[in-house]
Amino acid sequence: MFEKMDQNDLEDYAEQIISGSEISDENIRAMLQISDPDEMDKLHYVARHIRDNFFGNKVFMYSFVYFSTHCKNNCAFCYYNRENDIERYRLTLEDIKKICQVLKTEEIHMVDLTMGEDPYFHNNPERLVELVRTVKEEVGKPIMVSPGVVDNETLMLLKENGADFLALYQETYDKDLYGKLRVEQSFEERINSRNHAKRIGYCVEDGILTAVEPDIESTLISLRGLGTSDPDMVRVMTFLPQKGTPLEGKDVEGSEAELKMISILRLMYPNLLIPASLDLEGIDGMVHRLNSGANVVTSIISSNSALEGVVNYDREHAERDRDVKSVVARLKTMGMEPAEQSDFEKLLGQ
């Protein structure tokens, strides 16, 4: 699709998207089939041009606090599914307060509070509400919650007590594939919960997995599906087989498909937040994702933290490199820098 375009052509194409032109399904299919490295570089160039138009060289940064690895679900792709015989933890409120003392000193824009669908919290939502309220009071920054599917009353209580953003990933909009990934979970309930959050004033994030789709049409369905909840942030993450899960034996694929899809997301949703996660390939992987059109760094964890990530490429590492200082230092080598806190809060409507 881009093979015969020179730099001027690429910039003209980017400007058309910036001006409001939408990409056809035919063009998305063509982009998904790109394999030539030079053409891939051109796709990434277009994505960066579009991102820079809306966000300049500014990057938003989210800390990550996985406060409970207990879960009632049996997702085929997830290390923390209920059937996996692993060590788990659940932070106390006092643990959370100690973490907040570190978070309040760090150059982050938002705190991401994530858990499995832990019955301890799901059956007693007041505990989750208290946790969110405590972090808001202690840190004073915007809060993202990722509690899984909770009822509408709990969503409202969380918002009233400090939650600004809801992350609730569909993983795929291919219903057949969804049933194989999120085993015995309602496809519609997840969508309805996200839509309700949006209606009551949350910013919302949706996300999909790649390296699990059966074909390009399945991927196209998911890319289009991401736009249906009017999200503020959209993400794609590479599936990595996890020990002890039903998909443990699936072949490992590289991150090239994810990088391609980050660029496609930037073309489809030009002014949205798109994350570059540290959870898959650390700082080097962050660079590739930002160069593909992302503008948010997620899964920042302090270097001395024992908390888990979701995929945890660094689970066996003696030292981690996904702390704020390491991220900012690498951003500077790329000519990028953290945005002002006020810029992020404007995006949230605050």
pTM value surpassing 0.85 = yes
- 305 — pLDDT class (breaks 50, 70, 90): confident
Please count the other Cβ atoms lying within 10 Å of the Cβ belonging to residue 105: 10
Please check the confidence at residue 199 and state whether its pLDDT lies above 60.
yes
CB 134 within 8 A of CB 155: no
Calculate mean pLDDT across residues 121-129. Answer: 98
Instruction: State yes or no: pLDDT of 278 exceeds 50.
Output: yes
Higher pLDDT, 251 or 331: 331
Determine the Cα–Cα distance for residues 88 and 80; give it in Å rounded to an integer: 8
| Per-residue pLDDT band at 253 (split at 50, 70, 90) | confident
> What are 34-92's pLDDT values in tens digits?
999 999 999 999 999 999 999 999 999 999 999 999 999 999 999 999 999 999 999 99
For position 316, what pLDDT does the model report? Answer: 46
pLDDT at 307 over 90: no
Q: Residue 298's pLDDT is what?
A: 97
> If you compute the radius of gyration of the chain from its CA atoms, what whole number of angstroms results?
19
Domain residue spans of the chain? 58-347
Please give the structure tokens belonging to residue 335: 């000519």
Higher pLDDT: 308 or 262? It is 262
Determine the pLDDT at residue 310.
63
Is the pLDDT at 315 greater than 60? The verdict is no
Is pLDDT above 80 for 306? no
Residue 308 has what pLDDT?
Answer: 58
Positive or negative, the Cα torsion across 289, 295, 299, 302?
positive
Q: Give residue 22's pLDDT.
A: 96
Give every CB contact of residue 235 below 8 A, 6+ residues apart in sequence.
Answer: 169, 205, 206, 207, 208, 265, 274, 275, 277, 298
Residue entry with tokens 């808001």: 136
pLDDT at 85: 95
- Fold observed for domain 58-347: TIM Barrel (3.20.20)
Q: Is the pLDDT of residue 318 over 60?
A: no
Q: Can you tell me the mean pLDDT for 303-309? A: 66
Residue from 211, 207, 181 nearest 81 by CA: 181
Cα torsion at 148, 153, 157, 158 (round to 10°)?
Answer: 10
Decide if pLDDT at 304 tops 80: no
- Taking the C-alpha atoms of residue 273 and residue 263, their distance in angstroms, rounded to an integer, is 12
d(CA 212, CA 190): 19
